[in-house]
Amino acid sequence: MQQEFDNQISKILDLSLIQHLLYPLIILMSRYADIKLNVQDYRQDQFSQFIEVLEQSFKQEHRLQFYAKNIGVSTRKLSEICQAKSGKTAKKIITDRIITESKRLMKYTTLPLKDIANQLGFKDIAYFCRHFKKATGYTPSEYKQI
C-alpha cells in the first residue's frame, strides 16, 4: 500500500478522478444558485413595484387589496414578499407610510387636524385619531405637543 501511495501516477489519477466527480456537482450547485437568484430578483421587483404604487396612492388607498391587485398578486403573497424583504407585513408598511406622512404634516404645517385627515384619505376625523393612536400610542393632539 505504501508503494501505491508513493506512486506519482496514482496520485495524478486520483486527482483527475476527484476533479471529474466534483465538476458535475459544481454545475448543479451553480444552476441551483441561479434559480434562487431569479426567484429573489422577481420578489425584489414585486416589492419595488409595491413601494412605488404605495408612494403614489397611500393618500387615497389604504386597502391591501388595492396594492395586491395593482402588482398582480394575492394579498397573502404580497404580505409574504414584504415580510421576506422588509420584515414587515404589507399592511404594516401601508400603515407606517400613512402615519409617517401624518406626523410630517402635523409637525411641519399649520394645517388643522381635519385637513390632515382629509388629505390622508380619512373621511372621519375620529377614525383618523383612533388609527393614529393605535399606531403610535399617542393621540394626534398629544403628538403635536411632543
Encode pLDDT of 52-64 as tens digits. 999 999 999 999 9
Q: Is the dihedral of CA 37, 38, 42, 48 positive or negative?
A: positive
pTM of the model: 0.73
Split into its structural domains, the chain has a count of 1
What number is the average pLDDT over the span 79-102?
A: 95
Burial of 121 (0-12, 13-18, 19+ CB in 10 A): middle
- Quote the pLDDT of residue 39: 57
- Quote the pLDDT of residue 119: 96
Cα–Cα nearest to 141, from 102, 101, 121, 113: 113
Could you tell me the residue range of the domain that residue 78 belongs to? 2-145
The more confident residue out of 44 and 33 is 44
Q: Please report which confidence band the pLDDT of residue 105 belongs to, taking 50, 70 and 90 as the band edges.
A: very high
- Quote the pLDDT of residue 3: 61
Q: What is the CATH number of the domain that holds 76?
A: 1.10.10.60
Q: What percent of the chain has pLDDT over 90?
A: 66
Span between the terminal Cα atoms of the chain, in Å: 83
pLDDT of residue 142 exceeding 80, the answer is yes
pLDDT of residue 76 exceeding 60, the answer is yes
Q: Tell me the three state secondary structure of residue 110.
A: coil
